[in-house]
Chain A
Amino acid sequence: MKARVLVRPKSGILDPQGQAVQRALPALGFTDVHEVRVGRLIELELDDPTRLDEMCERLLTNPLVEDYEVLLEEGARR
């Protein structure tokens, strides 16, 4: 099965990438964007999704500074 893990900087953590993107958008005429946060997407193909949280906490994210969200393909259960 397929799983996706969305990783983003925790709220309150400085995100210079997001700020740089936010500053670049008005130059292209997109003037109504109030906040941009840049994170990363990790796609996994795996058999057993029950240990995904452990994977996220031990390797895929740094829990001190990042939040994550696990998305499973439709119909799958954890």
Chain B
Amino acid sequence: MRFGVVRFPGSCDEVDAQLAASRVGEAVLLWHAERDLGRIDVVVVPGGFSYGDYLRPGAIARFAPVMDAIAEFARAGGPVLGICNGFQVLCEAGMLPGALLPNRGLRFVCRQPGVRVESTASPFTAALAVGERLSIPVKHTTGCYWAPEHQLDRLEAENRVVLRYCPGQNPNGSMRDIAGVCNEAGNVMGLMPHPEHAVDQLTGSADGLRLFESVAQALAPVAA
């Protein structure tokens, strides 16, 4: 099991993502200028401020050479997890539906909301149960999930809303309390909370690790 964690200029959570992934497998960093992912089983597009968030978060990162390889990897069914800025990048790249807008309260938020598992359609939640409550931190300024109403209806009907903030804990005004979604095939998932920051009880919660464990289990059911 080998994770590739992308590093763009301006990424800042790639090392935590690498450490989290290395608890369930091998984890290497992928420089944004790479055109070849090499032998990778899972891609993580991490949080941070790729290319300084210039223009819009994720707008420039989506054109990085590594993104073509990631799109190709995803088309072949490879699991891709976009966290925070990574979620913004995947939306800008059209690999996930919708967009992330400035937080409704305009302020940077940093807190640890409860997040409910809504779907196990993604390999990152396949080993979890619908209705489980996870405690995973968020920290962002542009995390208000938005999509047209008809698309939201469709996402819900197709079981593609993977995570929702628990009632009353939506930190950013996201429509329908959506914290994470996946693509049609389920293999590409994006979320605003940071599972890589919740992998040890030492920092208050190890719930984030379960997403990494889940994908490892989904890819190697026999070994698990």
Interface-located stretch among B21-29, B69-77, B100-108: B100-108
* A60-B60 Cα distance, complex, nearest whole Å: 10
Task: Judge if B144 is at the interface, Cβ distance under 8 Å.
Answer: yes
* A20-B101 Cα distance, complex, nearest whole Å: 15
Question: Known interface pairs A14-B104, A16-B105. Does A64 touch B98 (Cβ–Cβ under 8 Å)?
Answer: yes
- Which of these, A14, A59, A62, A64, contacts B173 with CB under 8 Å? A14
Q: Are A64 and B106 in contact (CB under 8 A)?
A: no
Q: Are A64 and B99 in contact (CB under 8 A)?
A: yes
* A13-B105 Cα distance, complex, nearest whole Å: 14
- Which of these, B55, B56, B103, contacts A16 with CB under 8 Å? B103
Number of interface residues of B (CB under 8 A): 19
* A64-B173 Cα distance, complex, nearest whole Å: 18
The interface residues of chain A lying within 8 Å CB-to-CB of B147 are 64
Contact with A along B83-114 (1 / 0, CB 8 A): 00000000010000011011111100000000
* A41-B99 Cα distance, complex, nearest whole Å: 21
Q: Which residues of B come within 8 Å of A, CB atoms?
A: 55-56, 59-60, 63, 92, 98-99, 101-106, 144, 146-148, 173
The interface residues of chain B lying within 8 Å CB-to-CB of A60 are 55
* A60-B63 Cα distance, complex, nearest whole Å: 13
Contact with B along A36-52 (1 / 0, CB 8 A): 00000000000000000
The interface residues of chain A lying within 8 Å CB-to-CB of B102 are 16-17
* A13-B103 Cα distance, complex, nearest whole Å: 12
Task: Judge if A65 is at the interface, Cβ distance under 8 Å.
Answer: yes
The interface residues of chain A lying within 8 Å CB-to-CB of B106 are 16-17, 20
Q: Are A59 and B59 in contact (CB under 8 A)?
A: yes
* A14-B103 Cα distance, complex, nearest whole Å: 10
Q: Are A14 and B144 in contact (CB under 8 A)?
A: yes
* A65-B187 Cα distance, complex, nearest whole Å: 25
Q: Are B59 and A13 in contact (CB under 8 A)?
A: no
* A20-B106 Cα distance, complex, nearest whole Å: 8
Distance from B65 Cβ to chain A, minimum over Cβ atoms (Å): 16
Q: Are B146 and A14 in contact (CB under 8 A)?
A: yes
Q: Are B101 and A13 in contact (CB under 8 A)?
A: yes
